[in-house]
Amino acid sequence: MTNIADHKLPVLEAVDRSFDLGTKENYILNHILLFVNLLLVGVFAIDIAESFNYLSHNDSLHAWIRDAEIIFGMLFLMEFTLRSVFVYIPDKKFLSRYSIINALVIVSLLAPHFIGNLAILRFLQIYKVYKVYSLGKDQRSYHTQ
C-alpha cells in the first residue's frame, strides 16, 4: 500500500518550481498566465463594446461575460493563493506593488457579483499583462534551450 503523501510531494515541488525564476516550470506558467490574461482583456473589450452599444445588448452575452469573469477570477484567486504560499509570505513580498495589483484585479472580477461594479479596477489588468509579458520576455534565463 502506498502512502498518499508520497504522491503529493512531487506535485508540491513542481508547483514551487513554477514560481522560481529561471525554471522550465516558471517559463510554462508565465506563458499560460500571459494567454489567460490576454483572454481576460478580450472579455473586457467585449464588455466595453457592449456597454457602449457597439454590440447588440443581449442577455445571453451579458451572462456569458459575467460567467467568464467568475471563472477568470477563480483562476487568478487560485494563482494568487499559490503564489502567496510559495513566494509572497516566505519572501515577505506580500505588500509588493504586484501583489496588491493582483489582489485588486481579483476583487474587480469577483466584487460585481457581490457588492457592485468596480470596473475601474479592471484597467489594472493591463499592468498585470505587462508584468507577465516582461517576465516571459527574457527567455535566456529559462533552461529551455
The one-character DSSP state at 122 is G
Q: Which of 87, 71, 79, 121 is nearest to 101 (CA)?
A: 121
Dmax over Cα atoms in the chain, in whole Å? 62
DSSP 8-73: HHHHHHHHHHHTSTTSHHHHHHHHHHHHHHHHHHHHHHHHHHHHTTSS---HHHHHHHHHHHHHHH
pTM value is 0.67
In this predicted model, what pLDDT tens digit does every residue of 93-132 receive, in sequence order? 777 777 777 777 777 777 766 665 555 556 666 666 666 6
Q: What would the mean pLDDT of 77-93 be, rounded to a whole number? A: 80
pLDDT-based confidence at residue 30 (cuts at 50, 70, 90): confident
Most confident of 8-12, 48-52, 141-145: 48-52
